Structure 1
Amino acid sequence: MLGALLLFSLLLPLLFIFFKSKSKSDAKSAPKSYPIIGTYLSVYANRHRLNEWTSDAVHNSPTLTFLVRRPFGQTRVITGNPSVVQHILKTNFSTYGKGMFRSTLLDLLGDGIFNVDGDEWKFQRQLSSHEFNTKSLRHFVEHVVDSELNERLIPILTTAAANDTVLDLQDILQRFAFDNICKIAFGHDPAYLTPSLPQAKFAVAFDDAVRISSERFRVSTPLLWKIKRFLNMGSEKRLKEAVSEVREFAKKILDEKKQELSDKSSIQSVDLLSRFISSGHSDDNFVTDIVISFILAGRDTTSAALTWFFWLLYKNPAVESEIVKEINGKSDSAVYDDVKEMVYTHASLCESMRFYPPIPVDTKTAVADDILPEGTVVKKGMVVTYHPYAMGRSEKLWGGDWMEFRPERWFEKEEGTDDVRFKARDPYTYPVFQAGPRICLGKDMAFLQMKRVVAGVLRQFKVVPVDDGREPVFVAALTSKMIGGFPVKIKERK
């Protein structure tokens, strides 16, 4: 069996070459499917742009839903249909669990909140929710984010502006978000955003672990990466090493927190990690999984959103001018209340994430047979993927001007006046923060952090891409990235 699978994996590219000239379907047709290998040829031909290819296929479907038939009869549903998204995330929530997502990411995320269902998920969510009340959010903005901004980020940008040096803003924002999530969730300051920009072993390992884990979703059959893992070879060998380094870092944070909680003379912090330890869960592996999940959420999503936001602002100077005008109407410190009231900036961030959602696709697995609202029959064990990236670029959902970066689309006139107010889209048309029972707990925290960063940076600086704004290459791992980073120069705002 093992030999047959290895032989098949070697023959697949040859099959692609053989059938390529016979399957010249245009870009607007459904992916061509063949016996045994399914739609593998289309997948292989687009292997370097799978996110864009699946997005195009969603747009070209009358129902915004299509099927990918993988080798050996596996079928996956990919959708950008809001009624389907509502069905799997809310209406029929109990039918769609982590399934394939869990098994694929188990080595990295273990039993953390993003990789479990049922009572285990409910417990972690309930305990985590205390971290996101108004008091915690105010403290987060006025103390954690503000100190990281004023004591670390702004000085680094000031030095770069004075010396006309190039910074990788993607890396800078990841460091900023990493320090923040560690402080607020674990009471730990890794001091990753310092003038020397230290190359932390953990950060390299974490990036490798996320990248390789996400690549597992792209192989023609999960058996291939499982064989590599069993043989401890290639990327799977590196993943094992990287996960070990990540868990070692998380375990160090856990041990420090346990020591703090056992030291009666110390001033004990009340953070997410303290709550989990105090809840009676003494299993180190379980709590370590929680630490890793929150690092992934707090470090990668907000930094990805801000990275693409600053690029889009450079491409849309009129929007940047409006944001700066709004910022200058607030106090220099732009504390909690001021940040909350930055509605044009809020709309601009929503518009940016419409184009570049931090999590471009998400996947569920059916635990029972079902029928989707637009008629697709789903069998138990089938994977259903919803596609925020495709949805944000759909003319059917956003109109003929979908390609325009226009924050004004997020406002509506108040009845009987000329005043406008922010109007959120329903979360099933705009599932950037998921929706239904699993809607992102950190949504408000993410917006507050992003708006505080935008206010602090744009009040003083202009961010200028060194490649004159040519669109960076988008890569969809577990979160959105720019290949090669985001090199920029920082200019003092006159």
Structure 2
Amino acid sequence: MISSQRAKSFSSILWKIRRFLNIGSEKRLQEAVGEIRGFANSIVRQKKQAMFQISQEFSPTEPGHSDEKFVTDIVISFILAGRDTTSAGLTWFFWLLHRNRHVEEEILREINKSRVKQKNKTQHFSVFEQVKDMVYINAAICESMRLYPPVPVDVKEAAANDVLPDGTKVKKGMWVGYLPYVMGRMESIWGRDWAEYRPERWLENTGKGKWKFVPKDPYSYPVFQAGPRVCLGKEMAFLQMKRVVSVILGMFRVVPAMEERFDPVFVPHLTSEMQGGFPVRIEQRTV
């Protein structure tokens, strides 16, 4: 939150002064960074110790393991880029599912089909195999992230002078921002029904009772960015979210523990949040 407030400030001079003097929000930021880095560093050291116990041939000077700071940075990247974004996406997904029961019913049908297929398998059925054919869940997740993207705003700095497709000139060092949150709600991109949560807009009926997933242009749907900057963890994120959704919904109902007319507030930071969190009741399915 403090990092995102830096970008929103009218001038960078004030926060740089606070950082130099180590006071106020910058002091709190350094304390938070220290706590996160300490946590990530403990993970790295525990892993190295476990590897050493497994194999006495492990050498502390081996490349890829000796630089604890580098490995710790990678762990922190996974925490920030993977954990926070995935949890944000799933929070809004379960909220939209509650508001659109017909989508939940279609997802349950897909989960049940996968279970039947799994029972008919004589060999080991991997996690990837369990979720790879769940195209409707994939579409439902894409549709929820269209309306509530985990990263609602993104900014790039021009490395060199450039010209945008519409003729706008961008000079080296300039910041160019785009808003996936706004783009996901533009009628010119998604049509008049842009406000409707409709996973079917991502699907094509093959005529055989099966859905085929049809991805959108990443430049119109930049939730995972596009081009050279596309998110490296995109496929892993979908695998994780589809797995979580299929396991939870296959066993439980996720019911908001709030008034029926409650309308959550979207809070855009570096990653999106639901103001006050999303309190729910978990009810076991009987059918």
* TM-score in same-fold range (> 0.5): yes
Counterpart for residue 212 of structure 1? 2
Residues 315 and 469 of structure 1 are in contact (CA less than 8 Å); yes or no, is this contact kept in structure 2? no
Distance 1:267 1:483 in 2: 50
Change (3 A) 1:481 1:469: farther
Q: Where in structure 2 are the equivalents of 1:38-77 lying within 5 Å? A: none
Distance 1:396 1:266 in 2: 61
Q: Find the partner of 1:282 among 50, 66, 69.
A: 66
Q: Which amino acid aligns with 2:7?
A: F
Q: Which amino acid aligns with 1:484?
A: G
Q: Where in structure 2 are the equivalents of 1:453-464 lying within 5 Å? A: 453-464=244-255
Q: Find the partner of 1:471 among 245, 263, 271.
A: 263
Distance 1:420 1:255 in 2: 46
Distance 1:320 1:260 in 2: 42
CA displacement 1:283-336 (0-9 Å, x = unmatched): 332322222111112211111111100000001111111111111222177843
Does 2:99 align with 1:315?
yes
Shift of 1:418: 7.9
Does 2:9 align with 1:245?
no
Shift of 1:408: 0.6
Does 2:6 align with 1:229?
no
Q: Where in structure 2 are the equivalents of 1:75-90 lying within 5 Å? A: none
Counterpart for residue 301 of structure 1? 85
Unaligned runs of 5+ in 1: 1-210, 269-273
Residues 314 and 469 of structure 1 are in contact (CA less than 8 Å); yes or no, is this contact kept in structure 2? no
Q: Which SS does the other structure have where 2:114 is aligned?
A: coil
Number of equivalences = 276
CA displacement 1:139-196 (0-9 Å, x = unmatched): xxxxxxxxxxxxxxxxxxxxxxxxxxxxxxxxxxxxxxxxxxxxxxxxxxxxxxxxxx
Q: Which SS does the other structure have where 1:459 is aligned?
A: helix
Q: Which SS does the other structure have where 1:385 is aligned?
A: strand
Single out whichever of 258-267 and 233-242 deviates more from structure 2: 258-267
CA displacement 1:43-65 (0-9 Å, x = unmatched): xxxxxxxxxxxxxxxxxxxxxxx
CA displacement 1:66-100 (0-9 Å, x = unmatched): xxxxxxxxxxxxxxxxxxxxxxxxxxxxxxxxxxx
What is the TM-score with the length of structure 2 in the denominator?
0.88
Distance 1:267 1:445 in 2: 31
Shift of 1:413: 4.3
Q: Which SS does the other structure have where 2:115 is aligned?
A: coil
Counterpart for residue 330 of structure 1? 114
Counterpart for residue 215 of structure 2? 424
Q: Which SS does the other structure have where 2:223 is aligned?
A: coil
Bigger relative contact order, structure 1 or 2, given CA contacts below 8 A and separation 6+? 1
Counterpart for residue 346 of structure 1? 138
Distance 2:209 2:250 in 1: 28
Distance 1:446 1:263 in 2: 31
Single out whichever of 219-228 and 259-268 deviates more from structure 2: 259-268
Q: Where in structure 2 are the equivalents of 1:3-402 lying within 5 Å? A: 211-263=1-53, 265=55, 278-280=62-64, 282-331=66-115, 335-402=127-194
CA displacement 1:418-469 (0-9 Å, x = unmatched): 8641100011111111111222222121112111111111122211112226
Residues 260 and 266 of structure 1 are in contact (CA less than 8 Å); yes or no, is this contact kept in structure 2? no
Change (3 A) 1:372 1:265: closer
Distance 1:262 1:463 in 2: 42
Change (3 A) 1:452 1:365: same
Shift of 1:259: 2.7
Shift of 1:342: 0.8
What is the TM-score with the length of structure 1 in the denominator?
0.52
Shift of 1:267: 11
Counterpart for residue 122 of structure 2? none
Change (3 A) 1:378 1:246: same
Distance 2:254 2:270 in 1: 26
Shift of 1:368: 2.0
Shift of 1:264: 5.5
Distance 1:492 1:469 in 2: 24
Q: Which amino acid aligns with 1:357?
A: P
Q: Which SS does the other structure have where 1:331 is aligned?
A: helix
Shift of 1:387: 1.3
Residues 361 and 389 of structure 1 are in contact (CA less than 8 Å); yes or no, is this contact kept in structure 2? yes
Distance 1:376 1:246 in 2: 40
Q: Which amino acid aligns with 1:369?
A: N
- RMSD, aligned CA: 2.4
Q: Which amino acid aligns with 1:330?
A: S
Change (3 A) 1:420 1:248: closer
Q: Which SS does the other structure have where 1:217 is aligned?
A: helix
Shift of 1:346: 0.8
Does 2:225 align with 1:434?
yes
Residues 214 and 478 of structure 1 are in contact (CA less than 8 Å); yes or no, is this contact kept in structure 2? yes
Q: Percentage identity across aligned positions?
A: 61
Single out whichever of 308-317 and 326-335 deviates more from structure 2: 326-335
Does 2:275 align with 1:491?
no
Distance 1:249 1:401 in 2: 45
Shift of 1:399: 0.5
Distance 1:427 1:461 in 2: 33
